[in-house]
Amino acid sequence: MRKKLKDFHVSIRAIALVVFFIISTALVPFVRAGNDDSNNKEIGVWWVNDYTNNPYYGSYIFPPNSDDDAEGFYNNLGSKGFTKSFDKGDGNAWEKHFEKSENGGLDYSYADAVDFIYFAGHGRSDGFRFGINKDGDDYDNTMYKVHYSEALWGDKDLEWIFITACEVLKHEYWNNWKGVFNSPPMLHGMTGFHTSVTNTDILGGQFAAYLTDQFGPFSIKDAWQKATKAVFNATDKEAAVCAVWIYNYGVYVKYWDEYLPGYESGMMSDPSGTTSIGYVKWTCKL
């Protein structure tokens, strides 16, 4: 009789574990993300080589490879069936493309009208910068930058924004970017750098290769980590990711573990309910 009761309790515990797994998995299904249309593979890139008209930098600053960097991402994913929506460079790359409408921005038609964005150019912990003055509200227009207070992403379609620019995700200030995640959060995450980085012409293409079956596929965090280490291989460079976390039954679901659509488990559904934003950085040394 005792053995039967013991076997019964073991069976109940096993069933409970199975039920828990099913429920927790169902709460964060891997489904098509985005909320504006049926295409979840739209990409856009913005890049700036020419900062001679930006008074913060002056005529001597030219990161000449930003176009190759961003377009490497663009063309690589384009060859994998992603929709190439925007390729905006230099005079056609405007900060108002990333700013919310309340600040006179056009993000609804540009940055928030695609699923994945790659930006290559200059930046600091307060934002990423452009070469000409195309600001929606003239806020701090001496630096031609998208300030974190001017953005609200994910309320239409944007899932991830990937940024190759110095210090945009600097550890001491990354919390300032929490406000760009639409509430309830629909932006899934951001990648960037904690430190300054040297200009590169290959990071975007390498990143896309690790995201897809060319070198992977790997999750977004792992792909960014592998690409930044492979490209820079330096102890003085540190990359970072911040993304939505959801706490379910004692376990954090971290959105940086999702994959691009069409690979492995794909994208998770847009975050809702009780969420937080997590952050991690690493040294770009193999």
Q: For the segment 82-113, what is each residue's pLDDT rounded down to a tens digit?
A: 999 999 999 999 999 999 999 999 999 999 99
| C-alpha neighbours within 13 Å on the C-beta side of residue 64 | 1
pLDDT at residue 248 greater than cutoff 90: no
Q: Does some domain include residue 4?
A: no
Query: Tokens for 151?
Result: 């953005």
Q: Does some domain include residue 17?
A: no
CATH of the domain at 265: 3.40.50
Global pTM?
0.87
Between CA 239 and CA 247, with CA 30 as vertex, the angle to 5 degrees is 65
pLDDT (mean) for 250-275: 92
Q: Does some domain include residue 19?
A: no
Q: Does some domain include residue 250?
A: yes
For a pLDDT cut of 90, what percent of the chain falls above it? 72
Q: Does some domain include residue 226?
A: yes
Q: Does some domain include residue 16?
A: no
Instruction: Please tell me the chain's helix, strand, coil percentages from 3-state DSSP, rounded to the nearest 5.
Output: 30, 20, 50
CA distances, 146 to each of 55, 161, 168, 181 (Å):
15, 13, 11, 15
Range of the domain at 163: 38-283
Bridge-based pairing state of the strands 123-124 and 127-129:
antiparallel
Higher pLDDT, 112 or 274: 112
Residue 41: strand, helix, or coil: coil
Q: Does some domain include residue 22?
A: no
pLDDT at residue 139 greater than cutoff 90: no
Task: Collect contacts of 141-145 with beta carbons under 8 A, ≥24 apart.
Answer: 142/55, 142/56, 143/54, 143/55, 143/56, 144/54, 144/56, 144/95, 145/95
Dist CA 138 CA 124 (whole Å): 19
Q: Does some domain include residue 276?
A: yes
Q: Return the pLDDT at 23.
A: 37
pLDDT (mean) for 167-191: 93
What is the number of structural domains in the chain? 1
Q: Return the pLDDT at 14.
A: 41
